Chains A and B, each alone.
Chain A
Amino acid sequence: MKEVFIDISRCLGCKSCELACAVAHSESQSLFGSLFESIPPRKRIYVHAGDCFSVPLNCRHCEEAGCVAVCPTGAMFKEEQTGVVLHDCARCLGCGFCEMACPFGVITRAPGSKIVAKCDRCPEREVPACVEACPTRALLFITSQEAQQVKRQHISTQFFLPRPPVTSA
């Protein structure tokens, strides 16, 4: 199953993923159109400055999802087939427990509301909008196996065998 992987070494902090995420969750589905919507669309990915890197953070769709566990109404749930953690606004109380449970701070409220929003991994799209928008391929939509294989491949090119010292005859 594909997930959104982050290659932090490639993130330039441009926030293109943030914009694309908001537009993907707008009525008009267009950058220009979404500017004129009465309720501005919300992003669900956040680029933060680390010590020496920029880090795009979004929902990791955790296996043991704390947000799902603490939700009293079942508004936050894990879709069996895809493993994606989804949120049903209609059942959301706005209690904020999921926000507290999320270790990454990527479940957030709309201004003036306690109803939360989070990454739904763009169910209508083949590739999530954030990944598509990333100009440096810091965001990748690949399987865990692929992600690890790429890293193994990369690290194996770093190895070299020490040569025996050249001895003069």
Chain B
Amino acid sequence: MGEKSVDRASLKMLKKASDEGIGTAWDRLEKQEPQCGFGLLGICCRNCNMGPCRIDPFEEEPGKGVCGATADIIAARNLLRMIAAGAAAHSDHGRDVVTTLYAAAQGEVQGYQIKDEAKLHALAAEFGVVAEGRSKEEIARDLAREAMEEFGMVKERLQFLNRAPEKRRAVWEKLGIAPRGIDREIVEALHRTHMGVDNDYTNITLHGGRTGLSDGWGGSMFATEFSDILFGTPRPVRGKSNLGVLKEDQVNIVVHGHEPILSEIIVLAARDEELLAVAREKGARGINVCGMCCTGNELLMRHGVPIAGNFLQQELALVTGAVEAMVVDVQCVMPALAQVAKCYHTKIISTSPKAKFPGVEHVSFEEHSALEIAKRIVRMAVENYPSRKQELVQIPDEEMEYMSGFSVEAILQALGGTLNPLLDAVKAGRIKGIAAIVGCNNPKTTQDRGHLTLTRELIKNDCLVVQTGCAAIACAKAGLLLPEAAAEAGPGLRAVCEALQVPPVLHMGSCVDISRILVAASAVANALGVDISDLPAVGAAPEWMSEKAVSIGTYVVGSGVLTVLGTVPPVLGGKNLVELLTKGARDVLGAAFAVEEDPSKAAALILEHIAAKRQALGLEP
């Protein structure tokens, strides 16, 4: 294993963990190595009980599973299941936001209100919900009902597909991969991969495309848009990042996971005078709510709440010994937290009925009594403050300011209300292209190095970088989300950033907010009268690890954007499948996957691609 992290706060906490005999994800990875080669290549199948089967990748026996499935079939089925799981995670998150809006509209919940009426009206118009002469609650209720139908099989096409350029929609229709209903595509994916159903790796992969698109242009987009209605559309905001945001003299609550539904109310509850008084009584100077992963991203986008770190820092936050409570909901929450927390006073509190952890206290969250539950959770943290073991407290001083909140609306506003300044900069070559760098951390690769190296290389070469998720947190910690970071950019991008007072790296939100990037890409393509696949644009996930990232990669490629992966997906055992994903897809979708583990080489590949796309558009490369 190479270097564990380039983040100094992480390295300090890894040293502390090691001194205290605490194992983390990196240690557990070491114990897993060497990892199963069949798994790494995607050629083991457990889909029926004639198996498990695996295929010899070196042209020896066994060359087929018991049912006769080849390496390509098995790898394609496994890939489709990964896409389905990822799409399910994003879309179920979207569903929770939709039902929360519905409940809020019915007046059944505590603490939620319709914050962004302009967006409510815009979406009502988009979905054909009558708005005239009706209260915002009535509109919201009908809009939420419309959204609920998008999850099922009532409609033939997802409404949000209409946001894509006409040429892109034509591509989807021609291939038969325009998603019909969000849940439907996921269920069909599981049906197709059942024993003896879809056994044509191309057909399986095409449905993978459709399932991914139902996430990007469906579940994720609902999560984003409806969260904006409920909690406000993000606008530029500043805050602090990295483990240094934890406070020695305050009650530290880390909200970790993905949804904004509970964490928004926790932020509210932490301002409660009564609870603040209890905190003071216990000797604390205040209540410090910090984010972690995408729950953190949701909060920092809208409120500038401090973000303690990204995926691989969840255990390290506990190692500071200064966290009273880590409140978790769904996705990317390691079960290891329970064991690490035992070494300190930290309470891990799970809140989603969907996500329970052995050895973790569970406080079931539901919207109807949201504020009461949030207050109860905050109180648990406050009352835990005196149990802090002072001798174990060590908070790294690494702390970095960030500027985030770049929703599409905020970007438009920064541009003066129209896309033209951006388009002009792209046409004139001041901005060569746009790269979306997203995704996780993965202990198989040095934490944050992929994100930072790739981002720096690209801005240096005048590529505007947009980000979400753990990639954005990596750049926040490195100071790349500040307007001052324009100094690291090439002369063209630098001039644009300085004129607009924006960073060269724009934080657009959580992982479901990649839907914002789709909307932005569509707007740019429409303004130029081209397809998304004609744009000098690229997607990259340098340190990805989750199934959600697989779904994202699929819908980004499906939307016409080359996607460069920094860790190798488990498909290489299916050689024809690899050919399809990396080359064949280009012929039909105008985009494909590429894999490059070295971030500097990935940057070169991306710049070359952008130059080629510029040339095809008749622009100076």
Question: Do A and B make up one complex?
Answer: yes
Binding site for B on A (CB under 8 A): 14-16, 18-20, 22-23, 31-32, 34-35, 40-43, 111, 132-133, 135
Contacts A35-B572, A35-B575; is A41 near B58 (CB within 8 Å)? yes
Known: A14-B36, A16-B34. A32 touches B58 (CB 8 A): no
Please name 7 pairs of A and B residues whose Cβ atoms are closer than 8 Å in the assembled complex, sorted by A: A16-B36, A18-B56, A23-B37, A35-B57, A35-B575, A40-B57, A40-B60
**Is the C-beta of B54 less than 8 angstroms from some C-beta in chain A?**
yes
B578 and chain A: residue at smallest CB distance: A35
List the 8 shortest-distance A-B pairs measured between CB atoms, nearest first: A19-B37, A40-B58, A40-B59, A22-B58, A133-B34, A31-B37, A35-B572, A16-B36
Question: How many residues of B are in contact with the other chain, CB < 8 A?
Answer: 16
Residue in contact with A15 in the complex, picked from B41, B54, B572, B573, CB distance below 8 Å: B54
Q: Are B41 and A31 in contact (CB under 8 A)?
A: yes
Q: Find out whether the CB atom of A20 lies under 8 angstroms from the CB atom of B59.
A: no
Instruction: Tell me, rounded to whole Å, the shortest Cβ–Cβ distance linking A137 to chain B.
Output: 13
Which of B36, B59, B568, B575 makes the CB contact (< 8 A) with A32? B568
Q: Are B54 and A20 in contact (CB under 8 A)?
A: no
Q: Does B38 contact A (CB under 8 A)?
A: yes
Between B37, B59, B568, B575, the greatest number of chain A beta carbons within 10 A of the residue's beta carbon is seen for B37
CA distance A132 to B35 in the complex (A): 11
A-B contacts, CB under 8 A, total: 43
Contact: B34 with A32, CB < 8 Å? no
In Å, the complex CA distance between A14 and B52 comes to: 10
Say if the beta carbon of B40 comes within 8 Å of chain A: yes
Contact partner of A111 among B38, B54, B59, CB < 8 A? B59
Residues of B within 8 A of A111 (CB): 59
Q: What string of 1s and 0s marks CB contacts (under 8 Å) between B377-420 and chain A?
A: 00000000000000000000000000000000000000000000
How far does the alpha carbon of A117 sit from the alpha carbon of B41 in the complex, in Å? 25
Residues on the A chain within 8 Å of B572, using CB: 32, 35
Interface residues of B in 56-91 (CB under 8 A from A): 56-60
Main DSSP-derived SS at the A contact region = helix
Interfacial chain B residues near A132, Cβ < 8 Å: 34
A40 to B60, CA, bound (A): 9
Partner of B58, one of A14, A42, A133, A135: A42
Specify which chain A residues have a CB less than 8 angstroms from the CB of B60 in the assembled complex.
Answer: 40, 42-43
Q: Which residues of B contact A16 (CB under 8 A)?
A: 34, 36-38
Q: Which residues of A contact B573 (CB under 8 A)?
A: 35
Residue pair B568, A19 in contact (C-beta under 8 Å): no
Residues of B within 8 A of A43 (CB): 58, 60
B41 touches A35 (CB 8 A): yes
Q: Give every chain B residue within 8 A of A20 (Cβ-Cβ).
A: 34, 37
CB-CB under 8 A from B37, the residues of chain A are 16, 19-20, 23, 31, 133
Q: Mark B14-40, 1 if CB is under 8 A from A, else 0.
A: 000000000000000000001011101
Residue of B nearest to A26 (CB): B58
- Alpha-carbon distance A14/B36, docked complex (angstroms): 8
Q: Are the CB atoms of B57 and A19 closer together than 8 Å? A: yes
- Given the complex of chains A and B, what is the CA–CA distance between A22 and B572 in angstroms? 16
Q: Which residue of A lies closest to B36 (CB)?
A: A16
How far, in angstroms, from A17 to B331 measured CA to CA in the complex?
A: 34
